Structures are given as C-alpha cells and as structure tokens.
Chain A
Amino acid sequence: MNEQEQFEPVIIGFTCNWCSYRAADLAGTARVKYPPNIRLIRLMCSGRLDPTFVLKALAGGADGVLITGCHPGECHYIEQNYKALRRYLLLQRTLKQFGIEPERVKLVWASAAEGVKLAEAITAMVEEIRALGPLNWRNDEGRTTKDGHPSSFVHRPSSEQAEVAA
C-alpha cells in the first residue's frame, strides 16, 4: 500500500459534556491539530455510555471507539466515571470474545483544561488503529464490490472512499 492509499480509519468518540467535550472545544479554540478521522458524540457523562453504543459504532463501520470522561475523582456527577470505567473493563473482555482487538476501544480521561492532551490521545489512537487495519465488522451481507466479492472481505478501493471523504 503506498502513501496515497493509506488506510484512513474512522473512529467514533464519546465525550462528556463537562470535561472532554470542553477539552475538544479548547483544542479547537487553541487551534491544536489532530487527524480528521474522529467523529465526536456528546453525552452528559461518561456514565451514560451504554456499551451498546460502542458495539453499534463498530458494527456500523467504525474501526475504533474512543471513550473519554472526567479524571477519577473529578466527575461532574461525583462518581459516574467510575461506572464508565467498570463497563469499559467488562467491554474489553467482551470484545475479545467477539474477536475484536481490545485496543480498538480506548478509555482516556481528559479534563476541560486538557485540550492538548485530548488531541494527542486522538492522534495516537488514529495511528494505532491505522496500524491495526480496518475492522470490517459491518454487516455487509448481500453487498458486493465492483469485482463481485463480498465487500467485507475486501479492502475498500480508494476510488470508493473518495466520495464520502471528499
């Protein structure tokens, strides 16, 4: 694979309204750069994160999921980020049973002041997922590529990527 065709992963990020979403805002205000491969969703708290959301994202075509929340002890709702942590650990085990590399789902604590930290975590994760390659966990049954192969077993040709990336 040459440089132009390098795999661009898609990562869904879940952020907490009080810390990491504001860290993302801060990264923007400070013009800190990170790769465009991540798409963020705002929740009120990392405790709101239903593991189904993660599975939904992976099943829907995401190659990785980033979960972010307030640092332990700094939760806006006192202790709900600990519950996110518990679910995350359990989810990691579930992912292995599904045959998914647990590194595809990451938990990062980022306070509202840590715009740079969040940007760095995103950059690192994009590189890591890029190295892991596409997940292709999406339900592509019945869909085929131009060559007639089932699409989930074939790496997506770059021409097909162009439309949406553009």
Chain B
Amino acid sequence: MTDELISQTPADPQERIGVYVCHCGTNIAGVVDVVDVAQWAVGRLKHRGVVIARDYKFMCSSLGQELIEKDIKELGLTRVVVAACSPHLHEQTFRTACQRAGLNPYLCELVSIREQVSWVHTDRVAATGKAKAVVSGGVERVLHHQPLEPLHVPIHPATLVVGGGIAGIQAALEIADAGYPVYLVEREPSIGGHMAQFDKTFPTLDCAACILTPRMVSVGTHPNVTPLTWSEVTKVDGYVGNFTVTIKKKARYVKTELCTGCGICQEKCPKKVIDDIYEAGLGYRKAVYTPFPQAVPKYPVIDRPNCTYFQKGTCRACEKFCPTGAIDFTQKDETITVPVGNIILATGYDIFDARRVSQYGYGRLANVFTSLEFERLSNAAGPTNGNIFLRDGKTMPKTVGVIHCVGSRDRNFNNYCSVICCMQSLKFAHLVKERTGATVYNFYIDMRTAFKAYDEFYQRVLEEGTLFVRGKVAEVTDAVRLPGEEDKLIIQVEDTLVGKQRRIPVDMVILSVGLEPRRDAKAVAQLFGISCSADGWYIEKHPKLDPVATMTEGIFIAGCNQGPKDIPSSVVQGAAAAARVLGRIQQKEIALEPFRASVDEDKCSGCRICNNLCPFNAITFHEDRMVTEINPALCQGCGTCVAACPAGAISGTGFSNEQVLAQIEGLLMLNLETASEAVPV
C-alpha cells in the first residue's frame, strides 16, 4: 500500500519555480544559513522545476519584491516560493508582488522559516536542515497550486455594534456621522456602560457623567443609529459583508412611543430592589426603573422577576399613575433580524470578585469596599449623594487604606496587570482626601502611571500627603492585637522599602479590584465565531499592527473585551474599529480567499456521508440526480467534507489533497533524486 501513498508525481517540465529565502535582517539569518538554503534549493530541487533561488536581506522590502517581479518577467517563472515569515503576516505582500508581475497571485506559496524555524530553534545545523525541508515542502505544494481569482462579495452598509459602553458609543457615532446606519445593541436598559457608574475620571478629574452623557444623547438621537437597549444578540448567520443578526428585544412592558420618561411610575412603584448592577449593590432601585436619571433611552423597564404584579397578580401602581398610559403588561419578547455588513464587539469587562481573596475580608468585614462600590459612594448621584461614609451610612472614615492589584498580578488569580488600578487608586486617594480630610494609605506592588499626565497626577497625590506603602497586603483583619486597633480594620503588610512587617489600623479599606473578561465572554466569542484567550480576552488579528480586527473577517473588537484598558484607549479603539469598518463599507465589496469546496458530480456516488457535516448548510443533495452539490456562497472553506468523501469527489481549492500530500512528500524530502538523501534527518 505504501507504494501508492508515496508515488511521486513527475515535475512538469513546463514549470519554472523561483525560491526566495529571506534573511529578515538577522531574525532568520542569525540562526538559519540562508545562503546554504538557497543554494541547496536551486541545486537539489532543480529536477522539481526550481530554476532560481535567491537570498535577500528583506524579501518584503520593495527591493526584495522587485527582485521577484523581475525574475517572473525575465525568467518566465510560473510559480514562486518565498521562505520568510508567517503567511499571516506577508502572504498578501508576496501575492500582490506576483500579481504586479503578471503571475496569478495564488501561484505563490509563503513558507514560514522565521516563526517556525529561526525563532524557535537554536541549533544552526538542525535549523538550516529544517528550513530546507520546509522549502522543499513549499516547492512540492506550489506545483499543485491552481490559478484562482478572489471571490468578491458586496458589503452591506449597515453595522452592528454590540455593547453600549464608551467604546461602543464612540464606534457607533463615528460610523453614524460618516452617514451609514448602525444598530447599537445593549443588554442593560440604558447605554453608558461602566463609565456611567464612575464619579470622576483620572487624571483630569472630569466628572464622568458630564463628559459621557452628551455622547450618550448624541448616539441615542442620531438619525443613523438604531439603539436597541434591553436587547441581546442570539444568532449570527452569514459572513463578512452579509451577516444576518438575530436580536432578542426583551419586553420592556412600556410602550416607548407613549412614554415621556417623566419617572412617575418609578416614584409610585412600591417594590424596592437592591441595585446590583448600576449601584454595585449599595443602593436601591424600583421594580420599574431606569438605571440612572440620565439614562438613554429615557424609557424605563419593568423587572419582571421583581414586579409585584407579575409575581402576585395585583398592584399595577405604575399603570394607574402613568399619565400617558404607556405601561403595557402584555408585551412579549420580540425577535428581529437585521442585515449588516460588519460587526463591532465592545462588550466590556466584569470586575474581579473580591470575595475570592478571602484574606482581604470583602463580604465578611463591613467596611471593606470594592473600587466600583467606592465609585458609587463618591458619586454625587450615588446612594450617599457623594458623601464618603462607612457601611453604616453616616460615619466618615478618618483613615482609609487603598489596596492595589487585588486579583491582578497574582498567580493565584490573574497574572496580568489590570492597567487602570494604579490610577484609580490614586484617584480614590485624592477624592477621600478632598472630601473627608482622612489619612490615606496606598498599598502598591509597583506604581504604574504610564501615559499622558498620569505620572503628574501621581506626583500631585504624593504632594497632597497620601502615604504610600510598597508591599503586597497579607491580610485585612478586625482581630485586635495592639492598643489603638479597637474597632478598626488592621492591614497587615510587609513594607518592602523598610523591610518590616507593619500593622496599620484604618476605618475603611478600598480594594482596587482588577478587570476580568465578561463572565459570558467565551459564549459570546462562540456566537460571533471569534477566538479568545484562555482568560477570556478576545484575540486581535495582530497584537501590534491589527489591534481591532479579529481573525474572523468582518468582526472587530474595541474596548476592554480585548484586555484591560482605560477610557482614552477604549475610545481610541472604538474609533479605530469604526475606521476599519468605514473603509470596508466605502470599498463596497471585499475580496475573499477563493478557498471553497466543490463536488465532481461524475465521481459523486450519492452516499450522502458529507451531507451532515456542514454546519453552514452549504451542502444539498439532489434526490433526482442522486448527487450532492455545494453552494460556494455558503461554503466557508473548512474542508471537512473534502476529507470525508470516500469517493474523492469533493475537492477544495487552496488546500486540495494533491497540495497537502505533495507538501508531506516535500517535507519528508522524498522528492530528492538520491535515495539516501531522502531519509529525513
């Protein structure tokens, strides 16, 4: 049987292949003997059609590309293999170069000898040997490439933005201002996100509401924006340019066309509910509510599980007092589908659950607060009208300890730095000082105040007299050991600058908790078909050069769902994602990789094995002719059906059986003329 499996396809004498080996400065040449690889390719793979092999310092530079173009024209190359970096970086570059020289761009193969060889191996001899094998695999594979034309698909001009925080608002506004329609979906009753909960924003101490609410109003009233609050995306079909998104609009039980947002219903509702979301559990809302006075839209929602009428069948106070008759208990959840060309996910973050660090006593010791709770405490519109009180609601603290890095930079919880905590802790120190005159301690591991005007703010807080203790807090306890600790919370910490253990009694502890991915981040990633890291942060297409695109065409990310970041960075990402989408919309169509499966009807036996394999419903069976057909518009090119077909009737362009099998032969160097050489390694 092995005879058949390793049968060599003879090289077509018509084929003329050029092999180009990149030094990438010293990135490749430092480990791989690139000159040797090029010489080897032209010497030992001559009988496979290699007519020229060159090495060059930077193949991707314009001079490097011109080298290839010149060879294509002058030597009449029919195929090109470039051994350089990952195809995810420069495949397009070299395809375009080929195209400029009149060669079909799909007759070019880029093999990675940087990410897969020079960067991961240290032994020069072994790395050079592997680079030769990789080049040999590329040469065999490229011999089976077909000239292809990219698929052009039109881009629907509408965009879906998921998440109405500052990143989503910014993205929606940019696109709407450019004149294109936007659907802005938010699962809470109002847009605004976490920023709407904050009091002041560092380092300038602008009032968060003052700078956010005008944006909320602009986006809420923009003629090109359809705000869909109290709504969730339930299904995403289609592909870039042509998504069909199913959105569930949860029943508000309020007729928005009649509601004036007067707020009488909220006043009259007898049912008080602890507000876990907007007030972070510190305050109450009613069963019919808008999360905050400046909510956009202004219409309230009825919280069905907490509404007395829905639970007990009587009450209807809101209905009785509503001056416009807007309350409608008969409303049902509604499902709508909208066509969009692109999607921007700005789904934000959750805060780290401070209960997990049990030694800090959150949830057990009353006067331990989280940063989000403190935001509400210090907010003039919050439960204490901006007075910084202890949990009893009346006592002002005389000493306050702010603990940094709670749940961040900690191998027990999250290894990453949550970026914003140092600055928010400094902001808290300033606000406590300003409002109560209390003594404030900051317990930090390292002070991270990068970015514009941040370090100046740190200096300012230092000068205001905040005390800084460098060390990770071991414990917060109410167990009195020393005089003066009665009725206090004692912070046990190693002061690493002094080299001593300290016990510092305080009235209030604020835990500067880190940011975490949304609890349902993975489910949302799956819904939209994008990848997320093991933590749950969404993965960008390239961490430096393509930070808002994802590996799924047409889906972009912005804000904290990609990783912890501050407000300015979130706004930048929102705008950047919008710019990417606008570019797409204005091109009117997009070129897609023409990698699709197709059925050779003459070979198809009608066994229907492939019929259940396609999750995109691209495969249909024709009962009359007893053959299967694949719809190229629905096919996503995964190739699962190709691998399954026992008759070999399905083939996939770009990743055909011939291409993969040839690449295997090449990688194992079965293509070399001398038999002894064919033995791999």
Contact = CB atoms under 8 A, between A and B. Distances in A.
Interface string B660-681: 1101110111100001111111
Interface string A43-79: 1110111111101110111100000001001101111
Given A48-B643, A76-B529, A113-B539, A8 B681 contact: yes
B129 interface: yes
A114 interface: yes
A59 B5 contact: yes
A44 B655 contact: yes
B126 A55 contact: no
Interface in B108-138: 112, 114-117, 119-123, 125-130, 132-134, 137
Interface residues of B, number: 70
Contacts of B526: 73-74
A45 to B, nearest CB: 4
Contacts of B551: 18, 22, 76, 112
Contact of A39 (B133, B643, B644, B676): B133
Given A32-B120, A45-B638, A60-B665, A50 B657 contact: yes
Given A33-B122, A36-B129, A25 B115 contact: yes
A51 B645 CA distance: 12
B643 A60 contact: no
B5 A60 contact: yes
B6 A139 contact: yes
A31 B134 contact: no
B643 A164 contact: no
A60 B670 CA distance: 7
A8 B121 CA distance: 15
Given A40-B116, A165-B129, A56 B5 contact: yes
B129 A28 contact: no
A27 interface: yes
Contacts of B119: 27-29, 31
Between B86, B644, B677, the greatest number of chain A beta carbons within 10 A of the residue's beta carbon is seen for B86
A81 B76 CA distance: 41
A48 B531 contact: no
B660 A41 contact: yes
B554 to A, nearest CB: 13
Interface in B472-528: 525-526
A33 B127 CA distance: 12
A125 interface: no
Interface residues of A, number: 68
B320 interface: no
B615 A10 contact: no
B386 interface: no
Contacts of B675: 143
Nearest to A35: B121
B62 interface: no
A119 interface: yes
B120 A27 contact: yes
A165 B36 CA distance: 13
B533 A111 contact: yes
Contacts of A18: 531, 551
A47 B5 CA distance: 21
A48 B115 contact: no
A83 B645 CA distance: 13
Contact of A77 (B88, B636, B655, B678): B636
A29 B118 CA distance: 10
B613 A43 contact: no
A47 B2 contact: no
Contact of B668 (A35, A53, A57, A76): A57
B637 interface: yes
Interface string A83-122: 1000100000000000000000000000111100001000
A10 B137 CA distance: 14
A117 B161 CA distance: 33
Given A27-B115, A160-B679, A50 B137 contact: no
A114 B677 CA distance: 35
B129 A62 contact: no
A51 B679 CA distance: 23
B2 A79 contact: no
A36 B88 contact: no
A164 B664 contact: no
Nearest to A41: B663
A60 B136 CA distance: 14
Nearest to A163: B677
Contacts of B341: none
A79 B539 contact: no
A112 B678 contact: no
Contacts of B654: 44
Nearest to B27: A28
A154 to B, nearest CB: 11
A77 B667 contact: no
Interface of A: 8-10, 12, 18-19, 21-22, 24-25, 27-29, 31-37, 39-45, 47-53, 55-57, 59-62, 70, 73-74, 76-80, 83, 87, 111-114, 119, 137-139, 143, 151, 156, 160-161, 163-166
Given A22-B88, A77-B636, 10 more contacts: A36-B126, A39-B130, A60-B670, A61-B679, A62-B664, A76-B529, A113-B539, A138-B2, A139-B6, A161-B681
17 contacts: A10-B668, A28-B119, A36-B117, A36-B120, A36-B123, A43-B639, A43-B655, A47-B643, A48-B638, A48-B652, A111-B531, A114-B534, A137-B2, A151-B679, A163-B677, A165-B125, A166-B129
